[in-house]
Structure 1
Amino acid sequence: MKKRHFTYLACTATLLGTFAGTAPASAAHRTLVVHPGESIQKAVNAARSGDTVLVLAGTYRGSVTVRTAGVTLRGVGHRTVIKPAAKTSATPATSKKASVTCSGNGNGICVVGGKNKALRNVTVADLKVTGFSRTGLWSMGTDHLTVRRVTADDNGQWGIAQEHSTRGVFRENTARGNGDAGLFLANNVKAEQGAADSKGALVERNHLEDNRIGITVRRLRNLTVTSNYLTDNCAGVFVVGDENKPRAGALTVSDNRLERNNKYCPKTARLPYLKGSGIVLTGTEKALVTRNTVIGHSGRSPLSGGIVLFKSFVGATSERNRITGNHLENNAPADLVNQEAAKRKNAFDGNSCRASKPAGLC
């Protein structure tokens, strides 16, 4: 059967209205349509800044790498599925150069900037990426990346992950059954260094379920985690710092709903076993944790509890954080847990809760 080539939609109003929901594109802003059996990577390679690669419903095998600024990679929802290439299939010549690093590292979609120049204004939306040995969607060296309505299920490490990036927006995504964090943001995955300024990154209205950790923020500053729903993970939200400077923190965790994150996960080289942790701050400073609803967490790990301040395992303290206006109930060993010394000046005020360690925080 003869394979079709991906289609350019530059002026067909009916098709654009059906698939893209936009007015007819000009020649300068094209829509490149990928049908089942065609190469997403080939379309991405052909895209210019301002173009949209629209991937129709179907299952597509193989990794995809985006290296062009201003490109939108979009599916038609959960019916657009990206899975690993079959082990017996050779990588097509048209995509090998672009995707070898992505697929070789076990990732599904990769958005990659240059070493000294951020890749700007890329959008990935409305598709599902599943079954990759490492990460469903991984990005590095980006600025103003938007990831929205992406489903990242059953990937070996992270569902959606980002490092060395600024001003990312992660909105209305779903991450379930991933080996580590459903959504992971960090300054640097491999090196120990001070926290980076994310310049206002936003993690908003995502659904995180049945991962090891729902959302991990590691060694970052200046971002907001808000209005997310987290359930059945081993831990809900983990904000991680260490002894490096600048310190992690100066961020906001607000208006999230966390319910029964009571899955058991065994210990690692860095952490004890996890079970029953709602929001954990470890080695952070000047974080604001406010208006969250944290219900039904129970465990005996050192990190168990509704909202927990924990001295990191490398000795970094949590200092000058404010936990205020949260609603907590039925969390054990307590709704609020502060394992830092009083002189660290962490503030607990205006929270609705029944039990704390030490007593008196509610």
Structure 2
Amino acid sequence: MVLRIVPTMFPTVQDAINASSPGDSIQILAGKFDGFEVDVENLKIFGCGIGRTIIAGAPAQGTSDGVVVSADRTTLQGFTVQGFSDSGVIIVSTNNVLKKIEVKFNTSRGIFELSGANLIINCIASNNSLGMDIMGTPASCLINCISTQNAVNGYFMFTGNLINSSASENNNGAGIFVGSPSTILGNEVLKNNGPGIEITSILINIIDNKVCNNERSGIELDAISENVIDSNLVRNNGTEDTDAGILVNSGATDNTIRFNKARNNFEFDIEAIPPADIANTFDGNKCGNSDPPGLCT
């Protein structure tokens, strides 16, 4: 295993990658550097920290993206990727770790994951078109991340992923948009201009989240089935008469909405548009009002 240092030993990160073998490490010192593609397996690429090591020059060769991860078992840690005309970081391989990576002011996505089984931890996405777009299979994990002030959604989740202990704040669309079986556990979803959490698929678990002060409904369930919305704190969401703290649309069936605490939402804390009020299970929800009445305990 060899340590290669940029720019003292190699002028660019790509030069260091091209000279590397699986298992090697690359240290990027403080400063601004061009984008790069990781096409050698099992490399560890470390910066000197967010805001100190900045990937902001030319994109990865042949792309408009900042960093392309095309080799498995890559570790990226401790740098900022900003200002690219496509995605900040795009992942097209598996079993990678992104830790303490900041992606900001990228024209498309901050982080775009197209292959699964990755760990994204302590990462920050801000002022991109979309914060983090997680679409790969098998499932990936996002832990302790922040997505804020993006032009569309904070997180766009597909293909069975877990997002845990993360935050989605002040995004222009949904805080978290979930389009396939996933688990959304223990997150803070605050002050987004769309719904806090929007659910558009089956077998999704929305558990123990704090969903507050979003412009549209706190949690919105589309015409789908077999989801669980359990033990969430849902407060001060909604600005229009079509909103609610928890909104269950008319075609939704066989979902379980239980043990949630919903208060001060507009226009109702829980609203189930008939026949959703009888086609789903409502149990133990503590709230101020509901439509139809009787969905709260």
TM-score bracket for the superposition, by shorter chain length: 0.7 to 0.9
Q: Does 1:110 align with 2:82?
A: no
Q: Is the 8 A contact 1:349 1:361 kept in 2?
A: no
Compute the displacement of 1:73 (Å).
Answer: 1.4
Higher helix share: 1
Residue type of the alignment partner of 1:215 = Y
Q: 1:46 to 1:233 in 2, by over 3 A?
A: same
Residue type of the alignment partner of 2:48 = V
Q: 2:237 aligns with which of 313, 331, 346?
A: 331
Q: Does 1:171 align with 2:121?
A: yes
- TM-score normalised over the length of structure 1: 0.70
Compute the displacement of 1:120 (Å).
Answer: 2.1
In structure 2, runs of 5+ residues without a counterpart are 264-268, 273-290
Compute the displacement of 1:361 (Å).
Answer: 4.4
1:181-260 alignment, distance < 5 Å:
181-187=130-136, 197-198=137-138, 200-211=139-150, 212-218=152-158, 220-221=159-160, 223-234=161-172, 235-240=174-179, 248-249=180-181, 251-260=182-191
SS in 2 for 1:127: strand
Partner of residue 319, structure 1: 225
Give the distance between the partners of 2:230 and 2:147, measured in 1 at CA. Answer: 23
Give the distance between the partners of 1:239 and 1:166, measured in 2 at CA. Answer: 16
Q: 1:361 to 1:133 in 2, by over 3 A?
A: farther
Give the distance between the partners of 1:127 and 1:48, measured in 2 at CA. Answer: 22
Q: Is the 8 A contact 1:348 1:361 kept in 2?
A: no
Residue type of the alignment partner of 1:336 = I
Partner of residue 17, structure 1: none
Partner of residue 63, structure 1: 35
Partner of residue 221, structure 2: 309
Q: Which runs of 4+ in 1 moved over 3 A?
A: none
Give the distance between the partners of 1:75 and 1:337, measured in 2 at CA. Answer: 44
- TM-score normalised over the length of structure 2: 0.85
Give the distance between the partners of 2:249 and 2:295, measured in 1 at CA. Answer: 12
Q: Is the 8 A contact 2:116 2:135 kept in 1?
A: no
Give the distance between the partners of 1:340 and 1:109, measured in 2 at CA. Answer: 43
Q: Give percent identity, aligned residues only.
A: 25
Q: 1:52 to 1:361 in 2, by over 3 A?
A: farther
State the Cα RMSD in Å: 1.6
Q: 1:340 to 1:201 in 2, by over 3 A?
A: farther
In structure 1, runs of 5+ residues without a counterpart are 1-28, 86-90, 92-98, 113-118, 188-196, 241-247, 263-274, 299-303, 312-317
Per-residue Cα deviation, 1:242-268 (whole angstroms, up to 9, x for no partner): xxxxxx31x210100011112xxxxxx
Residue type of the alignment partner of 2:188 = R
Compute the displacement of 1:307 (Å).
Answer: 0.6
Partner of residue 24, structure 2: 51
Aligned length: 263
Partner of residue 254, structure 2: 345
Q: Is the 8 A contact 1:336 1:361 kept in 2?
A: no
SS in 2 for 1:161: strand
Per-residue Cα deviation, 1:292-348 (whole angstroms, up to 9, x for no partner): 0001112xxxxx31011124xxxxxx2100000000100112110111435x20110
Residue type of the alignment partner of 2:146 = H
Q: Does 1:281 align with 2:199?
A: yes
